[in-house]
Each structure stands twice: as structure tokens, then as C-alpha cells.
Amino acid sequence: MLTAPQWNSLLHLRAGDFQFPDGMQFSIVSALDRFIGQIGSKPEIISDYREGDPRQHGKGLAIDTAWPGQNPLEINQAALDSHLFSGVGIYVNPAGVGSHHFDTRVERSVDAPARWGGIIEHPTQADGSVGKVIEYTTMQAVIDLIKKNLGGITSLVPMVLIGIGLWLILRSGHSS
């Protein structure tokens, strides 16, 4: 739980930006605050503390964000380059809109963060629950490969489609 002086030390974030500010740890909130200063825009916070979650969100060490109008791959790379987070995840929905997970887990270093990426599909069901979720945990490596070898592709959708194809090809080679 952040103290009043800790909240007051932040330049861009306030307790009101979070759904559960009392569950958050200063390490992730201050890291995101510094990252906002580097990026120059403030994200939408999609998810923060999750009571009962045994992973980073349940420890108050993780935040999921959306950066409307920003290139998701650029935000992801900036987060990795910032060395502020020990976990960086990117998810891109089929429309090419990205969201990001950032955390300050203690079992990883900011110099060698846990990283992953994928495509997430989450249509809302009639009862309000989340629908099917698809995650390709090797997608970050595929994105890196595409950026290195096919740098002329700037649109996210073709990159993702090529990445899925490469991932499926690579995965099929491991199934035998």
C-alpha cells in the first residue's frame, strides 16, 4: 500500500487512476509513472490489483494498460528499453489494438525481464463474462524476428498475421 508521501512523489499518476489503489505496491506505480514521463502520454489503466490472484496482480506488482493512438509495438519496445519493469507483456487484438502488462516481479531483473506477447481475443458474452482467450507465448520472439528481417513492414496487422504463420510453422516442427 502506498503512503501519502509516495502518492505525492508521483508526477503523472494519482490514486484515482486505479480501481484498487490500496492494493498497489510503490515499485510498479512509480515505474509506470516514470515510463509515462518517457513516453509523454498517459495510458488507460485496464487492470491493477486483483484480490485472490496468486500472481503479480494479486501482489499489487502488475498493471495492465492501453495506450490509445500509440503503436503497441513501439510502446512494448520502449518498455523493454526503459529497464523500469521486470515483466513486460503485449497483447494485440484482431483489430490491431494493443494492451500491455507491466510488472515489477522480484524474481526477474529489469535487465532481463520476463517478456511475452500474443494475440488476445476477448468478446464479451451476453452475461458480461470474458469469452475465448488465445495467447501465443512465443509471439514476442516472432515479432522480434519479423522486425529484424522484414523491417519494411510497418503495419501491425500484417506483422501479426506473418507472425502467426511463422509461429504455426515453428510449432508444427516441434510436434513430431
pTM of the model: 0.69
**Cβ of 27: how many Cβ atoms within 10 Å?**
17
Mean pLDDT by 10 residues, the chain (176 residues): 94 96 97 97 94 92 92 87 92 70 88 69 51 46 58 60 62 47
* Domain made up of 4-135: CATH architecture: 2-Layer Sandwich (3.30)
Distance, in Å, from the CA atom of 156 to the CA atom of 112, rounded to the nearest integer, reads 25
The reported pLDDT for the residue numbered 176 is 39
* Inter-residue contact 30 to 10 (CB < 8 Å): yes
> Which residues, in sequence order, are CB contacts of 106 under 8 Å at separation 6+?
61, 86
The strand order across the sheet containing 98-103 reads 44-47, 62-66, 98-103, 87-92, 114-119
The reported pLDDT for the residue numbered 132 is 44
The reported pLDDT for the residue numbered 140 is 53
Look at the chain and count its residues. Answer: 176
